[in-house]
Chains A and B, each alone.
Chain A
């Protein structure tokens, strides 16, 4: 009974590898980053577009909350897409690293070595995909926001400017995060 219920370690790693779910740590990292990046434009709109916080705090709260949610989703989407590609690209280097590590260990068998390679590949791909997803989505979000806010919606009222700039930037980042090209 207990054998049927316990999942072998390599299957566990494979499930984790192909799963869209993120760990709690990754989720906290994504959420924190999304919240900070969503809050950055508030300073721009407050100081440059002269939107007083006391008068527009409801707009700001709604805009920041929606932006945080969709940015978080964009990070996760892009991470999932990038992770497999990164794993393929790093496979050779990781094989070399683990082979060198196991070269002097005569007791190690092939299964242990493969498990180790898989775990290491998963770890490296996970980390690189997470950080690159955050970096790319942030850069794209901020470019879209500056273009929309200071060029496209420049002559609109501050409220319209804020809602449309943040909304459209968030929408574009979320939309393009699912693309594979």
Chain B
């Protein structure tokens, strides 16, 4: 009897401990930087910093991100707990989609559940740990004409008008 009750007690304690290990009610904050200049670069890349704040103060040991159908682990920094980093690269500027891109996040439990699924439908049915959006404004080639060219044309026209007026006066 004592043995049974101690087993049940140990099991319940372990269950409570395990539940306490997980992040509860996570809140996410995103900071991102992506390639903006297409004239001087051939490829596009984006760096996303995800800050996770949990209600119970626990942080997921590993965070996985589903970006464009690929699930990759996020990097972490020893000096910044709660911050996870995701890098995205694309061979051409067009491949990194402009605008908002949705990224599903998985912690250890949800990731292991995802890995156990066998079909796409089942994978889609797995509830992620969280979902964030990062915004890429797009890479620009800049203005068609360089600004100094426009400045020279503008000032040149003003000078030309002044020169014609001066010629009329001195005639």
Interface positions of A (Cβ within 8 A of B) = 81-82, 85-86, 89, 132, 135-136, 139-140, 142-143, 146-147, 150-151, 180-181
Contacts and interface: CB of A to CB of B under 8 A. Distances in A.
A181 B163 CA distance: 10
A146 B156 CA distance: 10
Nearest to A136: B162
Q: For the complex, would chain A's binding face be called helix, strand, loop or mixed by DSSP majority?
A: helix
A180 B166 CA distance: 10
B165 interface: yes
Interface residues on B, range: 10 to 19
B169 A143 contact: no
30 contacts: A81-B170, A82-B166, A82-B169, A82-B170, A85-B169, A85-B170, A89-B169, A132-B162, A132-B165, A132-B166, A132-B169, A135-B162, A136-B159, A136-B165, A136-B166, A139-B155, A140-B159, A142-B155, A142-B159, A143-B152, A143-B159, A146-B148, A146-B152, A146-B155, A147-B152, A150-B148, A150-B151, A151-B152, A180-B170, A181-B170
B162 to A, nearest CB: 5
B158 interface: yes
Contacts of A143: 152, 155-156, 159
A152 to B, nearest CB: 12
What 9 pairs between A and B have smallest CB-CB spacing? A150-B148, A139-B159, A136-B162, A143-B155, A143-B159, A139-B162, A139-B158, A85-B169, A142-B155
Interface of B: 148, 151-152, 155-156, 158-159, 162-163, 165-166, 169-170
B148 A86 contact: no
A147 B154 CA distance: 12
A136 B163 contact: yes
Contacts of B169: 82, 85-86, 89, 132
A136 B163 CA distance: 7
A15 B50 CA distance: 81
Nearest to B151: A146
Nearest to A88: B169
Nearest to B171: A85
A142 B155 CA distance: 7
